[in-house]
A and B are shown apart, each in its own frame.
Chain A
Amino acid sequence: SYVLTQPPSVSVAPGKTARITCGGHNLGSKSVHWYQQKTGQAPVLVIYHDTDRPSGIPERFSGSNSGNTATLTISRVEAGDEADYYCQVWDSSSDHKVFGGGTKVTVL
């Protein structure tokens, strides 16, 4: 089955840029989606189809995907961005959705 790999944690100072990676075999050939989950809350979609933002998501959130790595970038990080972030793809060979293990973003 397809595997997505994320770093367990990322720390960033307020106002700086956080980059969260998601690795997978030939990931650039798939559409990657990103979710933010704050403590005790349901996940929220922040990026879909590699680079698109749902309405209501700040422009500070952006995504990219190439080769074996997708990246969620959070610019001008705020305290309210502290959360777990998950990448997700659809594995066409199994018709299963797959999540990465999640990355905890800590704002220093």
Chain B
Amino acid sequence: EVQLVESGGGLVQPGGSLRISCVASGFNFNIYEMNWVRQAPGKGLEWLSYIGSNDISIHYADSVKGRFTISRENAKNSLYLQMSSLRAEDTAVYYCAREADIGPHFDSWGQGTLVTVSS
């Protein structure tokens, strides 16, 4: 069974940094492209970032480019999102999502981790 489990969310002050993680199981993580998607409270889904299976291809939404960094560690079946210069509007549930092998759509999602940016 495919599983994606996010962790690392919490309360952080404006201007602060936080790294969230996603551990994958039940599939060959090494060959799948991965993404981060977030959802602010009461709002819709917002795609944030993509990373190819081999780290070479990376893309960011304009809203986070220059502040967030996506990375992966295939040996640990793990996906990361390093977030810096956090703002109140970054408050959201952050999901990791597996890109389908016949994508680009998302065929598996984690349960999400809540990041709250507040003083």
Contacts and interface: CB of A to CB of B under 8 A. Distances in A.
A48 interface: yes
Interface in A16-46: 31, 33, 35, 37, 42-45
A88 B95 CA distance: 16
A97 B35 contact: yes
B47 A99 contact: yes
Interface stretch (B8-16, B70-78, B82-90, B101-109): B101-109
A96 B61 contact: yes
B50 interface: yes
Interface of B: 35, 37, 44-47, 50, 59, 61-62, 95, 100, 102-107, 109-112
A59 interface: no
A90 interface: yes
A22 to B, nearest CB: 12
B44 A86 contact: yes
Contact of A98 (B47, B103, B107): B47
B105 A88 contact: yes
A47 to B, nearest CB: 9
Given A96-B59, A97-B47, A99-B46, A45 B112 contact: no
Contacts of A54: 107
A10 to B, nearest CB: 15
B47 A44 contact: no
